[in-house]
Amino acid sequence: MDNHQTKFLMTLYQTPPAAWQPHRERLSGCLSHLSPHWRTQLEHYEQPPAPIAEFVTSPLYLGLAGQVYPEVLRTVTEIFENHYTEAVLCWGIGGGKSFLSSLVMTYMVHRTLCLRDPQGYCGLAPGTTIAFMNMAPTALQAQRIVFNEIRNRVQHSPWFQSEFANVQVLRSELRFPKDIVVVPGCSAETFPLGYNLLGAVVDEAAWFIEVTDGHRDYAEEIYHALQRRIRSRFLDRGLLILISSPRHTEDFMERKLREAQTNPRIYASRQAVWEVKPPGTYCGETFQYQDLEVPVEYQQEFKRNPQRALRDLAARPTEALEAFFTDPEAIEAACNPDMRCPLDEMGRWHKWFKATDQLPRYVHIDLGIKHDACGIAMAYCRPSAANPDEPEVVVELAWRLQAPEGGEVDLSQVRQLALDLRRRGFNIAQVSYDGFQSVDSRQILQRQGFRTKLVSVDRDMSAYQTLKELINCGRLRMYRYEPLLKELRSLEIVRGRKVDHPPHGSKDVADAVAGAVSEALRAWGGGTITGHVV
């Protein structure tokens, strides 16, 4: 079908069927050459929806040519032209994510308004409201996008003003003709209930509330609530877009990006802020940080706080939101290549692991809240080679016991480890527990001749501050044990008062090491942690 035939057919969108009669012969000839796509267009649409790039840039629609980043335009074009049902955009702060979400939402409304009967086309009853929702961590943020960004797009669009000028701006929604509404959401996963959602944008998806036990993630629950509303009513006609800068390596956005690698219906994009902004934004000089070529305009941010700059500007997640250990290299330096793990992969002692001196050892055991894992560590002090008046602490044992799937850690097995250490000749001066359901274990060990103690490293930050000071001063020695290193790197400061792991993370081994190290140092005379001796 040539361009003249196409233009002729397009004029029929706004022509009553009775007026087609004089053109019946010509129309029949054109229809015989129509693709299924164009047959659907003529059947269901009053007028053809503009292609997304034309909608954004043309003065007939939004008229944003020269005002939208080329990468933003390329991204939205790829999403809509390839008919993705989901999109995950992990972009740095300042890359125009909120602006992009307003373009997406306004275009989805435009496409729907172009239908003759949106409800009939979607299989809904006449008069049913079709909704588009913008979700954000706070209601105020969601309202800002809906009532400021999208309303501005509509009010300054010649197409909207000529075709659908009577848009009602209500307290909680923008209401368009044909029972089409745009509503702001909030962080409650129950908010989408009751809406017939054809499309939704979740803004700053990685920054919704996460519960620190790792068993509740509001972003994921909101995603499922939205996705179910879209799929149950519109199947593949709907679109759900997640937009955010990253938070940490196990946040919801990172999990969705990994899912997109195996799901062809999900569009995925990770972009540093300098990859989104036009090249002319920067002077052209760069510096290298890790594997990144970064514009020199951001050099101070990377010097001041490299972890935060990686996350906020480069869209690279860190293992912790506000890292407790700000110098990962110091953790690496504490790993002594001459030291080895005393247990094999099956948790059996190596024959070589036996005491070579009688320095007092301090063992700390951390039981997981659900007994699904347990950390155990043993440490002792010795004079520092650099300054004999200052001790250095050696962590000879750091181990994580994982419960079988669906089961709990065998507490008798944990106690057996302490007994094994004594049989191997170590002078066990103390075995401490974190206190969670540890009374029975402590009493049993007391009857075996052990001195036990109740020590909590969660009561305040003192045990971890001791551990951090030793690591930063180069006065801690340990073997390389990846579960421990991962936990240390991911530890976060919560409200400036507590050290915790990120959601979906753990700190069982780190807690055990912090308890053993601080108790060993306290006995030397330089520690600060206190506990109740049983």
Torsion of CA 62, 63, 67, 73, to 10 degrees: 60
Regarding whether 201 and 303 lie in a shared domain, the answer is: no
- In terms of domains, do 391 and 520 share one? yes
Name residue 532's beta-bridge partners.
454
State the total domains in the chain. Answer: 4
Per the domain annotation, does 40 fall within a domain? yes
Q: Would you state the structure tokens that stand for residue 102, as one six-digit string?
A: 């307003």
Task: Name the band, by pLDDT with cuts 50, 70 and 90, for residue 172.
Answer: confident
Q: Cβ(432)–Cβ(515) under 8 Å? A: yes
Is residue 123, in this structure, part of any structural domain at all? yes
Q: Does one domain contain both 276 and 288?
A: no
Same structural domain, 260 and 389: no
Q: Are strands 391-402 and 476-478 parallel, antiparallel or unpaired?
A: parallel
CA 234 and chain centroid, separation:
27
pLDDT at 323 over 50: yes
pLDDT at 19 over 50: no
> What is the pLDDT, as a whole number, of residue 192?
57
Q: What is the pLDDT of residue 185?
A: 76
Query: Is residue 322, in this structure, part of any structural domain at all?
Result: no
Same domain, 297 and 251: no
Residue 497 has pLDDT above 80, yes or no: no
pLDDT at 15: 47
Rounded to a whole number of angstroms, the distance between the first and last alpha carbons of the chain is 90
Q: Are residues 212 and 123 in the same domain?
A: yes
Q: Is residue 323 one of the residues assigned to a domain?
A: no
Q: Please indicate, yes or no, whether residues 338 and 456 belong to a single structural domain of this protein.
A: yes
Identify whether residues 363 and 290 lie together within a single domain: no
Average pLDDT, the chain: 83
Domain of residue 340, residue span: 328-533
55-106 residue pLDDT tens? 999 999 999 998 999 999 999 999 999 999 999 999 999 888 888 988 998 9
In the predicted structure, residue 320 carries a pLDDT above the cut 50: yes
In a domain, 138, yes or no: yes
- Separation of alpha carbons 87 and 237, rounded Å: 14
∠ at Cα 124 (119, 130), nearest 5°?
55
- Tokens 């912090």 belong to 514
List own/partner pairs for 290-294 with CB under 8 A and 24 or more apart.
Answer: 292/316
Q: CA 303 from chain center: how many Å? A: 24
**Pair (522, 432) in one structural domain:** yes
- Are 269 and 333 within one domain? no
Assign residue 484 the CATH number of its domain.
Answer: 3.30.420.240
In a domain, 166, yes or no: yes
The stretch 509-517 carries a mean pLDDT of: 94
Decide if 318 is inside a domain. no
Does a structural domain hold residue 252? yes
Structure tokens at 422: 């004594």
409 and 377 assigned to the same domain? yes
pLDDT at 183 over 70: yes
pTM as predicted: 0.62
The pLDDT tens digits of the residues spanning 329-385 come to 889 999 999 999 999 988 899 999 999 999 999 999 998 656 678 899 999 999 888
Q: At residue 114, does pLDDT exceed 70?
A: yes
Residue 73 pLDDT:
95
d(CA 102, CA 399): 50
Alpha-carbon distances, residue 192 vs 108, 266, 455 (angstroms): 18, 21, 46
pLDDT for res 369: 55
251 and 305 together in one domain: no
What's the pLDDT at 250? Answer: 76
